[in-house]
Amino acid sequence: MAHDNSQSYQPSYSTRPTLRVDLPQIRINYEALKLKVGVAKIGASIKADAYGLGAVPVAKTLYGAGCRIFFVATAGEGKMVRDGVGPNAAIYVLNGPAPRDKGVLLGAKLKPVINSLEQARYWADVSRSINEPPYTAIHIDTGMNRLGLSFDDVVELGRDKSMWSALNPEWVMSHLACASDAENPMNKTQLARFRKAAAQLPLTPLSLANTAGIYLGKPYHFQMVRPGIGLYGGVATNKPEQEIGRPVATLMAPILQVKWVKAGEAIGYNGTYIAPRDMRVAIVGAGYADGVPVSMSNKGTAILHDEEVKIVGRVSMDLTMIDATDANLSVEVGGVVIFRGDHLETEAREAGTLNYELLVRLGQRCRRDYWKPKKKESE
Ligand SMILES: *Cc1c(COP(=O)(O)O)cnc(C)c1O
């Protein structure tokens, strides 16, 4: 069979990939989670630029849906969100108050999460030195051994009435290590430790659950839950069928060239793929710099015209090759190949990583295309 390597062109296309973010779906996911947790508040986790989707547009969308509590990792992220959503939202900084961030924290009226006695002492001093100090959240480590006060620290803080009132805690929180697996005994252990530690402190609203924690049931909800991945439609537990969030992000990349490769020829860096037959290969304008993991080389999939196509050869920095031999519809320059969307979990598995990591790396170089919520939702 002779193959024609001349190609047809779509009249106009960009060589740059686009990350499409479905903002109305983020709102729908928020409302579904809100319905599920009932009276508990939702503090939205929008750290790391809202998992790569854009902290400001995501925060504005959630604010429009009624969300008034946000969690970011750093003071710099907090300031960006403050500028985006205005004065009426509570913005918590998970990584705690570092002295060099004092100006940003106070200037943008951010609320630090207190993770240690050192941070507690430091921030109590800051609070005493200013008028109208911000509320804080006290973070207890109940077994994850990541950030947070130990039980002994909590006892000490509980005894120090002066420090407690200087800190003005609005929330006492902890974080679950194994909530994606409801059967893991660690969940109940952390729940019990959280209750016991909180009992050492003056009565304060409590928060324990991330997205996965929400699915552990009411006893884990307390007065606020802190979903992140669930707002963005990522699967958070090992029982995806129970989850209500739907995907919001799609990476769309243009076909830059189409060529027939003869059987026996190698494709891509280091020739890791040898064409087993004459193959029609599409060279697509998205690579690992755009968040397509190298680990998907020769095993990942993408979507072309609603059909699954295989990645062939090593993913390179700006380009990925796919096998389009059996594609039923036209394969032409400017055509769109989809790398993400409703198959984030499939791809994470193929890449040997987490859907969280895939998502967060996506937006870094891509043009972002936001679907704006309509002014009045007519649902
Ligand atoms: C990231 C984070 C969350 C949100 O977790 P998801 O699994 O994305 O729902 C909640 N709380 C803390 C402390 C976090 O670091």
User: What are the tens digits of pLDDT across the range 112-130?
Assistant: 999 999 999 999 999 999 9
pLDDT band at 373 (very low <50, low <70, confident <90, very high): low
Q: Which residue has the higher pLDDT, 9 or 48?
A: 48
Q: Please, where in the chain does CATH 2.40.37.10 lie?
A: 248-371
For the residues 143-171, what does the mean pLDDT come to? Answer: 98
94 alpha carbon – ligand 1 mean position (Å): 10
Q: Is the pLDDT of residue 6 over 90?
A: no
Asked if 119 and 97 touch (Cβ cutoff 8 Å), the reply is yes
- Among 17-21, 39-43, 63-67, 346-350, which is the least confidently predicted range? 346-350
Please tell me whether 349 is known to bind a ligand: no
Active-site residue identified among 41, 47, 60, 79? 47
What pairs with residue 321 in β-bridges?
A: 283
Q: Is the pLDDT of residue 379 over 50?
A: no
Atom 12 of ligand 1: nearest residue by CA position: 175
**Is 30 noted as a catalytic residue in this protein?**
no
174 alpha carbon – ligand 1 mean position (Å): 10
213 alpha carbon – ligand 1 mean position (Å): 10
For the chain, give the percent of residues with pLDDT over 90: 83
- Is the beta carbon of 226 within 6 A of some atom in ligand 1? yes
Q: Please, where in the chain does CATH 3.20.20.10 lie?
A: 38-231
- Is the beta carbon of 139 within 6 A of some atom in ligand 1? no
Give, in degrees to the nearest 5, the angle at Cα 289 between 368 and 70. Answer: 50
User: Hey, which bits of 24-68 come out as E strands?
Assistant: 41-45
Please tell me whether 317 is known to bind a ligand: yes
Could you say which DSSP state residue 373 is in? P
Give the pLDDT score at 38.
96
Model-level pTM?
0.92
d(CA 373, CA 244): 19
- Is the beta carbon of 236 within 6 A of some atom in ligand 1? yes
43 alpha carbon – ligand 1 mean position (Å): 10
pLDDT band at 164 (very low <50, low <70, confident <90, very high): very high
For the segment 30-82, what is each residue's pLDDT rounded down to a tens digit?
999 999 999 999 999 999 999 999 999 999 999 999 999 999 999 999 999 99
Give the pLDDT score at 349.
80
**Is 273 noted as a catalytic residue in this protein?**
no
Asked if 339 and 286 touch (Cβ cutoff 8 Å), the reply is yes
Q: Is the pLDDT of residue 320 over 90?
A: yes
d(CA 262, CA 265): 6
Q: Which residue has the higher pLDDT, 153 or 353?
A: 153
Q: Which of 94, 114, 206 to mutate to test the pocket of ligand 1 (most atoms within 8 A of CB)?
A: 94
| H helix or E strand, kind and range, residue 126 | helix 117-128
The whole-chain average pLDDT of the chain stands at 93
For the residues 327-343, what does the mean pLDDT come to? Answer: 84
Q: Tokens 């003056």 label which residue?
A: 202
Give the pLDDT score at 8.
59
Q: Domain 248-371: which CATH class?
A: mainly beta
Q: Are strands 90-93 and 111-114 parallel, antiparallel or unpaired?
A: parallel
Give the pLDDT score at 378.
47
Atom 3 of ligand 1: nearest residue by CA position: 210
- Is the beta carbon of 235 within 6 A of some atom in ligand 1? no
- Among 47-51, 209-213, 262-266, 305-309, which is the least confidently predicted range? 305-309
Q: Is the pLDDT of residue 269 over 80?
A: yes
Give the pLDDT score at 351.
77
147 alpha carbon – ligand 1 mean position (Å): 12
Q: Is the pLDDT of residue 325 over 80?
A: yes
Q: Which CATH number does the domain 38-231 belong to among 3.40.50.720, 1.10.8.290, 3.20.20.10, 3.10.20.740?
A: 3.20.20.10
- Is the beta carbon of 45 within 6 A of some atom in ligand 1? yes
For the residues 355-376, what does the mean pLDDT come to? Answer: 80
Could you say which DSSP state residue 333 is in? B
Give, in degrees to the nearest 5, the angle at Cα 355 between 296 and 246. Answer: 125
